[in-house]
Structure 1
Amino acid sequence: MQERVIVGIDVGTTKICVLVGELDRDGKLNIVGVGTCPSQGLRRGVVVNIEETVTSIAAALDRAERLSGKKIVTAYVGIAGSHIESDNSKGFVAISPSHRDIVQNDISRAIEVARAVAIPANREVIHVIPRGYVVDGQEGIKNPIGMSGFRLEVETHIITGAVSSIHNLIKCVHKAHIEIEDLVLEPLASSEAVLEDGETDLGVALVDIGGGTTDIAIFTDGAIWQSVVLPIGGNLITSDIAIGLRLSPGVAEELKITYGHCDPSTIDDDDMIDLSQFMPDCNDLVPRRLLAEIIQARVEELFSMVHEEIKKSGYDGLLPAGVVITGGTAELPGILEVAGRTLDLPARIGTPLGLHGLADSICRPAYSTAVGLLIWGLRHSSFLIEEEEPEEEGPMDFVSRFGRWLRAFIP
C-alpha cells in the first residue's frame, strides 16, 4: 500500500511553515511533522530574493523531516501576493446527440470554454473553479453528471497571477528539492481549514491577515465568488509601532505580540511597558494604551479596505454568516470587535478544525493556510483515487500516473 503522506508548504512573508500529514485507516488526518522558520527573501507574498527564500524553505523542511521521520519529496504549496487577480467566466457547450446524458467530458469541455478568456501574456491561470452549472436553463445544479439535457453551462471563478511571481516561487521550491503537487491560492487553502459547514452556502467572507498581505475570499451558494489580495498585513502594524515609538522592527514586533491590543479603551492610562525586557540597556517606559492606539488605527484602516472589497463584490449586507478572520494577525486581542464594528457584520476568529496528532501546537489562526493545504491535498491526492478503484485503470488514469512518475525524473 502506498504511504499516505501529504505535505503542505505555506511560503509566507513572515514565516515558512511546513506541515506533514498522514491519513490513518479511519480517514483521519494526523499531523506528524511541523517545521517553521522565519521567512527571508519575500515581500508582500512575492519572492524578491531567490537564495534567501530557498534557504528559509530548506530550513523549515529540515525541521519537519526531523520531527516526522519522513523524507519530503512532494508538497502542496500556497501562493499569494498582490499580483493575484480573479474574475468570473461562463462556458457553454452542446451535449452530444448520441446520448444526451451529461458525462465528465461534457463538464471538461464547458470548463475549457470558460477558461478561454483573454488574459495578458504576462499572466498565468492558477485555478479554474466551477461555481455551479445550468442544464437547459435549470439553475442551481452542483453536479450535472448523469442528467439529461441539450445544453450545459458552467460558471467558473478564474484566478490568475503574474507569470514572473509564479515561476520564481516554483523555482525556489524546486531548488529546495521539492516537487510541487499543486499551487493553491492561500485564501482557498485557509477556507478549507476554518470555514464550517453551511457558512459558504449562507454567504461568508474569509479574511486571512498574514504578515505581508491580507487575503479575502467571498463565498456564496457553496462556492467562491470573489478573491482578492490586499498589499497590507501585520508587518505594516509592526512598522507603525517602530516609527511611532522609535524602536527597531524586531523590538516593535515583540512588543506587538506580547502587549498588543486593538482596543485602547480596555487599557488603563497607568498601564506601562518596561522596554528593558526587550532592550537591556534601555530603561524607558511606554504607555500600553499608546501602543494600542497605534495598532487600532492600522487595523481599522485594514478592515476599511476589506469593507470596500466586499462592496465591490456586490454582497455588502448579503453575508449572513458574516466574516471569519484568520492568519497570524488575527491573534491580536480585540481584533474581533474592530472587525465587527468596521464591517457591520458578525465576526469570529477562524482556527483549524478537525485535527489530530500534533494538533495542539498548530491549532491557531497562524497555521490556517498550512493546514488548509493538507486538506486540499487530501481532497485532490492521487492515492485516494488509486486505492478506491485499484482493480480497473482507464487510459487517462494511466496517463496521469505516468505523468507523475515522469515528473519525478525530470529536474
Structure 2
Amino acid sequence: MARREERSLLVGLDVGTSKCVAVVGQVTPDGRVEVVGSGVHASRGMNRGDVVNIEQTTQAIKRAVEQAELMANCSAKSVYVGISGTHIRSLNSTGVAPVRAGSVSERDVDSVMDAARAIAIPADQKILHVIPQEFVVDGREGIQDPVGMHGVRLEAKVHIVTGSISAAQNIYKCVESCGLKIDKLILQHLASSYSTLLPDERDLGVCMVDIGGGTSDIAVFKGGTIRHTAVLPIAGNQVTNDISVAFRTPGPHAEELKVKYGVALPQYAAGHEEIEVKGVGDQPPRRLSRLTLAEVIKPRYEELFHFIRKELQRADWFDVIAGGIVLTGGSAQMPGVVELAEEVFDLPVRLGAPHNVDGLKDITRDPAYATAVGLLLYGRQSRPQPAPTPMQGVGYWLQRAGDWFKGSF
C-alpha cells in the first residue's frame, strides 16, 4: 500500500498525566479533517502537566506516535503538541496604535497586537498565545476584523496565555528526542474548545471544562471568543487515589475499579451489586458494595465542581455563561458526572465529544480524545493552504467531469 501524502497530514500529540495520545489527521480536498490513525500509551513521566521523568515521557510519546503511524500508514515529521499544567497563567490586555493611512491595514493590526502583548511577565514565563477578542476603531467596539475600516485610532483587546519556559523546554526535549519537530505548543483547553464547542455556545457564553488525569482545564467563551482560562490541580487521579486509600487497594486496581464500576451518583449503583477488590501485598481480595464505591467518588467530583464555580465567580464570569457548562476529557465520561455537575452549577451541562471531523468513529466520538482532535483542527486552521496552480485547477475539473460521466452512464 502506498504511503499517504505527507503534505496533507496533521499530527496532534496530547501528552497527559495518565496517557499519551497521538492522532493523525488528513486534510480532505473540501478542507475537512479526517482522522486516519491513532495511538495511545500509558504516561508515567508527567504530573499535572509537568514533565517529571524525561525518559518515561519520551518513551510514551514514541510508542503512541508509532502506533498512530502504523495505523495511518505514514511517517510523522512534525506534531502539534498540547500544553497545560499549574504553571499556566492568563490575563486580558489592551493595546493602542495609530492608524497610519486613514484606513486600517494589516500593518496597523500587527502594530496594535504588538502593543497589546507588550506586558510585564515573570522572567520564567513565556507567551504561548495572544488571542484577539475584539478591536475598537475610534471608539466603535465589537469589531472582529478592522482591516479596511476608516479611523485614526485602533485598539485591540486580547487574551494572553503564558507558561513556564522550563516546562515548555522539557516538552520540546521529549518530542525532539523522538525525532519529531514541534509545529506549535498549544494550550490544551484551547485545543479542546476547537473540537467540542459549537458557534452559538461561544456567542452566548459557555464554560468548557476538560477533566483529565492530573488537571482540570477551564476556558470561558463569550461573544465568539475566549475570555478566561484557568487550570485546577484536581482531576481524575485524585479520584483514583481516594479509591485506593478508602478501599486499601493498589493504585492500578483502583483505576480499573473507577473505569469499570465507577459512578458519580449513588443512585446509579445498585445497592446489592458487589465488586471484588484486590488487597495490598499478600492480603486476600475482598468483596465490597458498588454503592460504597460511588460514595467515595461523589465527594471528590463535588469538590472539583465547587472549585470551578468559585474560580468562575472570582473572575466575574459565572453570571455570563448562559450557555452552561461543557464537560470533556476522559474523567468526564463517568455515569452521573453530568447530572452531579448540573446540581452544583445550577446550569445546563452537557458532555462534549469531538465534532466537525470525519474518520475513526471511536476517536471522533470520544471525549477522551477532545484535545488531540482539537490539535488537528487548530493545525488545519493555522497551516497556510497553498493556492492551486492553473494546471491543478484544470485537472480538478477534468476529474469532476470524468466522475460525472461515469456516474451518468
2 CA distance for matches of 1:311 and 1:130?
Answer: 23
Alignment of 1:110 onto 2:112: yes
SS of the equivalent of 1:225 reads: strand
Q: 1:388 Cα deviation (Å)? A: 6.0
2 CA distance for matches of 1:67 and 1:4?
Answer: 16
Q: Which residue of 1 aligns with 2:139?
A: 137
| Distance change >3 Å, CA 198–CA 94, structure 1 → 2 | same
Matched length: 387
SS of the equivalent of 2:355 reads: coil
Residue correspondence of structure 1 range 80-229 to structure 2 within 5 A:
80-96=84-100, 99-229=101-231
| Distance change >3 Å, CA 2–CA 147, structure 1 → 2 | farther
Alignment of 1:24 onto 2:28: yes
Structure 1 residues 141-200: Cα deviation after superposition (integer angstroms, max 9, x where no partner): 011011111000000100001111111111111111111111100000000000012101
SS of the equivalent of 1:292 reads: helix
Q: Match for 1:43: what amino acid?
A: N
Q: 1:280 Cα deviation (Å)? A: 12
Q: Which residue of the other structure, out of 349, 370, 373, is the alignment partner of 1:371?
A: 373
Residue correspondence of structure 1 range 280-291 to structure 2 within 5 A:
282-291=284-293
Q: Which residue of 1 aligns with 2:337?
A: 335
Q: Which residue of 1 aligns with 2:56?
A: 52
SS of the equivalent of 1:387 reads: coil
Residue correspondence of structure 1 range 198-347 to structure 2 within 5 A:
198-275=200-277, 282-347=284-349
Q: 1:276 Cα deviation (Å)? A: 6.7
Q: Which residue of 1 aligns with 2:401?
A: none
| 2:272/2:289 contact within 8 Å kept | yes
Q: 1:390 Cα deviation (Å)? A: 9.2
Q: 1:272 Cα deviation (Å)? A: 1.2
1 CA distance for matches of 2:390 and 2:224?
Answer: 32
Q: Which residue of 2 aligns with 1:407?
A: none
Which structure 2 segments of 5+ residues have no match? 392-409
2 CA distance for matches of 1:42 and 1:389?
Answer: 46
1 CA distance for matches of 2:370 and 2:284?
Answer: 37
2 CA distance for matches of 1:388 and 1:223?
Answer: 31
2 CA distance for matches of 1:314 and 1:168?
Answer: 34
Q: Match for 1:35: what amino acid?
A: G
Q: Which residue of 1 aligns with 2:11?
A: 7
Q: 1:282 Cα deviation (Å)? A: 4.1
| Distance change >3 Å, CA 304–CA 389, structure 1 → 2 | farther
| 1:46/1:165 contact within 8 Å kept | yes
Q: Match for 1:255: what amino acid?
A: L
SS of the equivalent of 1:3 reads: helix
Q: Match for 1:294: what amino acid?
A: V
Alignment of 1:33 onto 2:19: no
| Distance change >3 Å, CA 33–CA 277, structure 1 → 2 | farther
2 CA distance for matches of 1:189 and 1:206?
Answer: 11
1 CA distance for matches of 2:118 and 2:144?
Answer: 22
2 CA distance for matches of 1:388 and 1:376?
Answer: 22
TM-score computed with the length of structure 2 as normaliser: 0.91
Q: Match for 2:295: what amino acid?
A: E
Q: 1:345 Cα deviation (Å)? A: 1.2
Q: Which residue of 2 aligns with 1:387?
A: 387
Q: Match for 1:387: what amino acid?
A: A
Q: 1:27 Cα deviation (Å)? A: 2.1
Q: 1:2 Cα deviation (Å)? A: 7.1
Q: Match for 2:188: what amino acid?
A: E
Q: Which residue of 2 aligns with 1:401?
A: none
Which has the higher mean CA deviation after the structures are superposed, 343-352 or 263-272? 263-272
| 1:239/1:252 contact within 8 Å kept | yes
| Distance change >3 Å, CA 365–CA 339, structure 1 → 2 | same
| 1:251/1:278 contact within 8 Å kept | no
Which structure 1 segments of 5+ residues have no match? 392-411
2 CA distance for matches of 1:388 and 1:153?
Answer: 36
| 2:249/2:280 contact within 8 Å kept | no
Q: Match for 2:63: what amino acid?
A: A
| 1:202/1:319 contact within 8 Å kept | yes
Q: Which residue of 2 aligns with 1:64?
A: 68
Q: Match for 1:63: what amino acid?
A: Q
| Distance change >3 Å, CA 244–CA 277, structure 1 → 2 | closer
2 CA distance for matches of 1:223 and 1:28?
Answer: 22
SS of the equivalent of 1:21 reads: strand
Q: Match for 1:250: what amino acid?
A: P
SS of the equivalent of 1:133 reads: strand
| Distance change >3 Å, CA 361–CA 375, structure 1 → 2 | closer
TM-score computed with the length of structure 1 as normaliser: 0.91
2 CA distance for matches of 1:109 and 1:361?
Answer: 41
Q: Match for 1:49: what amino acid?
A: N
